[in-house]
Structure 1
Amino acid sequence: MIQKRAAERKDTAIVTLSRVSKSFGSEQVISDLSLNINKEEFVSILGSSGCGKTTLLRIIAGLLKPDSGEIRRRCERVAFVFQDDRLIPWKSVLANITAVSHEEIATNCLDRVGLKEALNKYPSQLSGGMKKRVGLARALAFGGDLLLMDEPFGSLDAVTKEKMIELVVELRNKSGFGALLVTHDPFEAAELSSRVIVVGKAFKKVKEFEFGHPEKRTLSDNMSCAQTLLEELRRISSQSE
């Protein structure tokens, strides 16, 4: 059954990485990584800070070239929610988003993230959490077949974070885009994902969990999944000490 699922993922993959490696100087950040991301699939990469998660996203987005290995993309447009806000400081919130989309779509996306009243403000006038929401709105306005998210819910309070997670799930269900989230939060990964890959340094220690469609799980199910992921993180951490 596992082999069958792997074959199905390969056939429907919008991104395929084959034996990808990347180093910065003498430090190897990603080592011999193979990964498929399916159309309409939500995958999370879970690991501690500094394990190469952001580097992986940048390679998939085409912002970095791997040292070795092969990447195949079967998607025309890739949207990216960066870990830092990446907003143009001299442009208003609305102008930052209309740079990638039409004004009507930009305004609607700002409304969906609760920032319609802030569309004429500048990044310097926003809190860290508000900047995060602008970054999410910009990625959603851009659209695409694949959404890459690098710690997109950092700096958000608990209530706002939950609303943004619900928004991403709703839009993914409507639009059918694939998504790859990198995070260090086990519950965040469990709540959003059908598949979670737990990684250690340089992606050398990898374990994959398939939890099924998140909408079919209860809060109790998600708590159980998160506990499983946390235990795996602890195991990997203890082995690296």
Structure 2
Amino acid sequence: MIDIDPASRPDPIAYLDHVASTDVGRGYKRQVLDLLALRPGHTVLDLGCGPGTDLAAMADAVTSTGRVIGLDRDPAMVAEAGARLAGRPQVEVRPGDVHELPVADRSIDRARTDRVLQHVDDPARVLAEFRRVARPGARIVMAEPDWEGMLIDSPCPDVGRTLARFISTEMVRHGTLGRSLARLCEEAGLAVRSVVTVAPVFRDLATADHVLGLRRNLVRAVGAGYLEPGAEEWFDDLRSRPFLASALLFLVTAEAA
């Protein structure tokens, strides 16, 4: 993978908040929540909770009789999530590694991941850990992209295809994880209950650029030799015409025996 200049990265908390506030973010997050089928009294684990974006909605669903555990390895995310959820006594935010869950065996009713497994060292190990902590019949819902499924309308479609290949190959550790999730779940001994694809459409270039990182990754692709110098003009051309792009997201639901 290519080393990324920290100065070129968006602020992670602001980025996650922005994605969650878009129509695209609200739509698929509602689907994930519905697939979780939370009930009062459930204990829920959010693997990679970030700044706590989804913890309140899960707390509402499990009520005061349930419990929500947010887990993240980034101290800044843990601090932010803890501050945001301070008024929710049934929510606990913990630091920790999703490869080694700081949770007791057979203690979890529901779990979720949202665009987290694409970045971890070993998605299969994370699924094995879920199986360890899952009660019989426990459910996990995962939302993961397949970056090769990013489509951008342009008179020069090869640039968009190359950009998608660059992101999936060089910028994301497991750039095509979405298509592999069901198989990985079954290999981990989980029963796959559903596989749903979401393909949101972006008609606004600024939103697509922020969510998908188009311009900054285009510059990186040129620097890495995937695209010829001057390919940045392709992005400028997108501004001059009606814009349309789409991305592919897999929502996979699996259960423990």
Specify if TM > 0.5.
no
After TM superposition, the score normalised by the length of structure 2 is 0.33
Bigger relative contact order (CA 8 A; separation at least 6): 1
- Please tell me whether Structure 1 or Structure 2 has the larger radius of gyration of its CA atoms: 2
